[in-house]
A and B are shown apart, each in its own frame.
Chain A
Amino acid sequence: MAALPPYTSTAQRTWHYTFRIICGLIFFFLIFPIIVIVPLSFNSLPFFTFTPEMLSFDPAGYSLKNYADFFTNPDWNNALKNSVTIAPVATLLATSIGTLAAIGLSQSHVPFRSAIMAILISPMIVPLIISAAGMYFFYSRIGLQGTYLGVVLAHAALGTPFVIITVTATLVGFDKSLVRAAANMGADPVTTFFKVQLPLIVPGVISGALFAFITSFDEVVVVLFLGSAGQKTLPWQMFTGLREQISPTILAVATILVAISILLLTTLELLRRRSERLRGIRST
């Protein structure tokens, strides 16, 4: 694909470039909406499109006032505070019990393995609106609706399937003889776990944790039903903002969130490389 061999016909050549142009357009479609909000978030006027000043690169067309609004407006501040108090706790909960369960599931003899797996993965499969409806009805009954704990538990439940999947994936490549070797040398199971098993599955655990984090951090449907004002998160505030008064501050928030996703994506990529190196898989 890289370079065309000399014997290609004109038709093949044309197709080759046409195909690349098509792919370029699709990539453009994928990335353009995300990129375009970045400059728009610096608009000095409350519009959602490029003003003539912006297009002529007049500094007066740009300003940081949307960002200033985000950091000073109490609504956004509260939302940010709620997001950063809910997501880490939900992540911690999901990651700890999720990792244990993934290790359990990777043992060779697990009764009812596929049934258990189906139950554990279900929060990822069931449409969010249904999870939200069910949790709303049930948590109302037991007094968790509109509480911090309720939202954390719900978010943790939604995040665990990702932890299971990523940790199981690292365990699949895990060489069991290492555990046996450790046991042979006299290490007890706990030591074996912390000294041998854990370091090797750490990349999987971390990437599972990142997934769980982003699940909670981006989640809006469940929190919309389950939460009350005290738990209003960033996505919730964005949702209300979009449905009601589209304030350009949303674009500043969106840009910040894009920066966070880039950070997460980079971390994941580094982890993946490390994991492959540790397990001796060479990238092909």
Chain B
Amino acid sequence: MKMKNLLLATVGVAFASSAAIADDMTIVSWGGAYSASQNNAYHKPYMAKNPGVKIINDESSAEAVAKLRAMNEAGNVTWDVVDVVAADAMRLCDEGLAEVINPDTELAKAPDGTSAADDFGELLVSECFIPQIVYSTTFGYRTDKVSTPPTDICAVFDLQKYPGKRALEKRAINNVEWALLCDGVPKDQVYDVLSTPAGVDQALAKLGTIKDQVVWWSSGSETPQLLADGEVVMGSTYNGRLFALIEEQKQPVAMLWDAQVFDLDGWIIPKGLSPERLARAKDYIMFATDTQRLADQAKYISYGPARKSSAPLVGKHAELGIEMAPHMPTDPENAKNTFLYNYEWWADNRDDLDGKFQAWLAK
């Protein structure tokens, strides 16, 4: 009897948990402070407006392309809205794994009536991609562990003046470009040089000069942790993570904006949703990417809103009460020297260069 009850209870639990899925909307993002800002700016107001919907946060954006491909193969897509970087959005769109969005009918107009297409402008880099923010990958350093504050990206490669460990991302993108910039290659020739085997060797050789002093990270929140623990003296990560470290946790860290690499992050809707789920996802996107919502996100994290009309609405941080504009990567003071990374070039050379980079890393 006992056994039978237990069995029934377990089956009951199993069904209850599968039945609950009906009104759940799974939104995939990056986790940490970034997810928190989306939760405050988008999810909470959306759920308040639609009491029937429960948003589940999945922090799998880093594996989004792989998982979407697997879901697509199975014909069972469990994600409703996915936050990805522009390069991944292009890849997903290319592979037919993301819905094409019509900015005129499926995105909100700006308050002054400007169409969404004009409001986002050239940031609509793919027809499946609805940009949210402009972010940058840049460096932070411990103010108490350097004698003179670095102002040049090449401080990363200068072990004499700035001894100690550095945190760099465990992949080739950005690192090889920075290495070449600091090895005397002019900004506009970086990709031409990288296209030759000798150029790749040159970049790796430059990185090799600091290799034993590098801690390699694979998740954007590692660098802030390493900086806070004093395990590294400087490290690259997304600028918003450094903002949280500096302004919210008050750690002795400062930004090195030189040669920051701009990138876009935004939403895609996966292909293969049922009509009801697709309609709900589109409704969410319409809501979450309007002018006010994008400006609201900047109250919680220092990423620049992707709409032009949102910029004037960017105000003070929700809790800290400081002006957010000077912390945006797009602020003129911060954007004196920026680097634009070439999506097309990386799409072609990623597999190859990554293999070489990993082989170099392992040795």
Contact = CB atoms under 8 A, between A and B. Distances in A.
Do chains A and B make direct contact within the complex (CB under 8 angstroms)?
yes
Contacts of A88: 10
B102 interface: no
A141 B219 CA distance: 29
B58 interface: yes
A145 B76 contact: yes
Nearest to A152: B14
Interface in B40-56: 56
B70 interface: yes
Interface in A123-161: 136-137, 139-149, 152
Given A230-B21, A243-B219, A141 B74 contact: yes
A146 B76 CA distance: 9
Nearest to A247: B225
A240 B31 contact: yes
Contacts of A89: 10, 13-14
Interface string B201-237: 0000000000000000011111011000000000000
B14 A85 contact: yes
Contact of A143 (B32, B57, B58, B75): B75
Interface in B112-158: none
Given A240-B31, A245-B32, A85 B60 contact: no
A78 to B, nearest CB: 8
A68 interface: no
A229 B56 contact: yes
Secondary structure dominating the interface of A: helix
B59 A145 contact: no
Contacts of A152: 14
A229 B31 contact: no
Contacts of A228: 26, 58, 60, 67, 78-79
A58 interface: no
Given A148-B18, A228-B79, A240 B59 contact: yes
B189 interface: no
Contacts of A139: 74
Contacts of B60: 228-229
A244 interface: yes
Interface string A16-58: 0000000000000000000000000000000000000000000
A137 B66 CA distance: 11
A250 to B, nearest CB: 12
Interface of A: 85, 88-89, 92, 136-137, 139-149, 152, 228-230, 240, 243-246
Q: Which 8 A-B pairs have the closest CB atoms?
A: A229-B58, A140-B70, A143-B76, A143-B74, A244-B221, A244-B219, A146-B78, A245-B221
26 contacts: A85-B13, A140-B70, A140-B73, A142-B74, A143-B74, A145-B70, A146-B76, A146-B78, A147-B76, A148-B14, A148-B18, A228-B58, A228-B60, A228-B67, A229-B60, A230-B26, A230-B78, A243-B218, A243-B219, A244-B32, A244-B220, A244-B222, A244-B225, A245-B224, A245-B225, A246-B225
